[in-house]
Amino acid sequence: MSADIERPANSENKVGRTPRTAPKLDKLLTASAGLMARQGFGQTSIRDVASETGFSLGGMYYYFENKEDLLFQIQRRTFGALLELQEADLKEGGSAEECLRRLVRNHLEYFTEHFNELKVCTFELESLQGTRYAAIAELRRRYYQYLADVVAELEGLDANETADVERIRHITLFIFGMLNWIFMWFSPERDEPVAHLGEEMIDLILNGLGNAPADRS
């Protein structure tokens, strides 16, 4: 773990760079996320990941400075890709309601396709420190803000008004709660298709209980 400047671990560590991943690194990140999702970051060692993937310990350290760096790379790759997906879709424009629909659909689809990675992102942010923590927190802040903006517009609230700030924050976090709690119960066999689940959630967010539009299926 000496500071060898030839190592990809060092170039990958530059906070703010778009994640560039190669097939081998992808395989490592995916396997690591699977292990950490099952047994927690605290209980997972670099050695565990090496055993799981068939890499040597030396091979692991070619890609990662240490275990925290591995967690950071999982989070940056996963959250970065989700954010890029949402930003590309939001650039299409449209009403606040259309933006809400896309945010919810994309979030659910991406979550259910990258379950382990997002479980690790959600529950292990606090395991990062310093610049790594700050870089992921910034991705999350940007992500949060997209939903908060849509909530403010749909509720007719103004983020510059002190009286509205906490209300926007609460409602945004209620919606993230609905979205992220699926970690606790989602079963592909039972709950697919995800698009249908998304429609049910959007319906609740836009109309509340018992106020369904006539065309509800």
- Cβ-based nearer residue to its own copies, 22 or 137: 137
Tell me: does residue 206 bind its own copies (CB under 8 A). yes
Tell me: does residue 4 bind its own copies (CB under 8 A). no
Tokens of 5: 């400047």
Residue 154's CB: how many other CB atoms inside 10 A? 16
- Cβ-based nearer residue to its own copies, 6 or 215: 215
**Cis check: omega of the bond before 213, within 30 degrees of 0:** no
Q: State how far the Cα of 212 lies from the Cα of 192, in Å rounded to an integer.
A: 22
Least Cβ distance, residue 12 to its own copies (angstroms): 28
> CA–CA distance from 48 to each of 35, 53, 61, 85, 114 (Å)?
8, 9, 13, 31, 21
For its own copies, which residue of 8, 16, 42, 188 counts as binding (CB under 8 A)? Answer: 42
Stretch that binds its own copies, among 64-72, 105-113, 127-135, 194-202 (CB under 8 A): 194-202
For its own copies, which residue of 6, 92, 166, 215 counts as binding (CB under 8 A)? Answer: 166
Distance of CA 93 to the CA centre of its chain: 22
Tell me: does residue 145 bind its own copies (CB under 8 A). no
Q: State how far the Cα of 39 lies from the Cα of 53, in Å rounded to an integer.
A: 16
Tokens of 96: 């606040």
- Cβ-based nearer residue to its own copies, 21 or 204: 204
Tokens of 167: 């209300």
Least Cβ distance, residue 146 to its own copies (angstroms): 15
Residues in touch with its own copies (CB under 8 A): 40, 42-43, 100, 151, 154-156, 166-167, 170-171, 173-182, 184-185, 190-191, 197, 200-201, 204-212
